[in-house]
Amino acid sequence: MPPPERPQDRGCALVTGGQRGIGAAVAARLAADGWPVATLARSGGDVQADVRDPGAVRAAFAQVKERFGPVLVLVNNAGVRDDGLALRMSDEAWSAVLDTNLTGAFHCTRQALSSMLSARWGRIVNVSSIVAERGNPGQANYAAAKAGLLGLTRTIAREMARKDITCNAVTPGVIDTEMTAEGVAEALVAAVPAGRVGRPEEVAAAIAFLCSPEAAYVNGATLAVDGALGA
């Protein structure tokens, strides 16, 4: 008797911003779980696209399908920061962060949903942040984008729940990546009840669970990976 078909046998996982930090750890973990994994980045990924550009995203998804198969797991991890107090934040800084971190996730989600609907199975995980729920001075644009991801997560979850497509979010706290090393970690680490920064692999483990068949009834949820910082 042949073994039962796995979702991994029908499609691939796509990780945006998958070249470093949390994204690279997620890509490695999903590959270890048996997924064919593609990474998307503005440069250096398996496919290149600026997630702010819907046409470029559409073309990138076509390339992924041709090379790896239809996207059945999507991890929206691509993100940028451009910090500054709201009073002095430029329009360009606001737009660049919102367009990449939130609108980019929408563009990718919209493309992924068509292949997931065809397969009647899919997993979407949005990488938000603890600042979505507690804010952080100097990060009005980043916090707004990450909070918007939580609203997007819950809406997609409700729209797709009957199709065996789930959409969840993780809210990492202070994680040891290049992005948090740029001044954020020093200000927050002393307040982390766990007494340390987190590792990208710890975030990846949470995301891998949300991408698994076992997480079929976890939908529209926000999973904190923050050492109790948000508790």
Place of tokens 């993780």: 170
The yes-or-no answer on residue 142 being catalytic is yes
Helix (H) or strand (E) holding 223: strand 222-225
Distance CA 81, CA 65 (A): 30
Cα-Cα end-to-end distance for the chain? 49
Q: Long-range CB contacts (< 8 A, 24+ apart) of 146-150?
A: 146/101, 146/102, 146/171, 148/98, 148/102, 149/76, 149/101, 149/102, 149/105, 150/126, 150/222
| Angstrom distances, CA of residue 41 to CA of 161, 165, 184, 222, 226 | 29, 24, 23, 25, 25
Helix (H, G, I), strand (E, B) or coil at 114: helix
Q: Which of 125, 142, 173, 207 is catalytic?
A: 142
Distance CA 161, CA 127 (A): 20
Place of tokens 């995301």: 207
Name the residues annotated as catalytic.
142
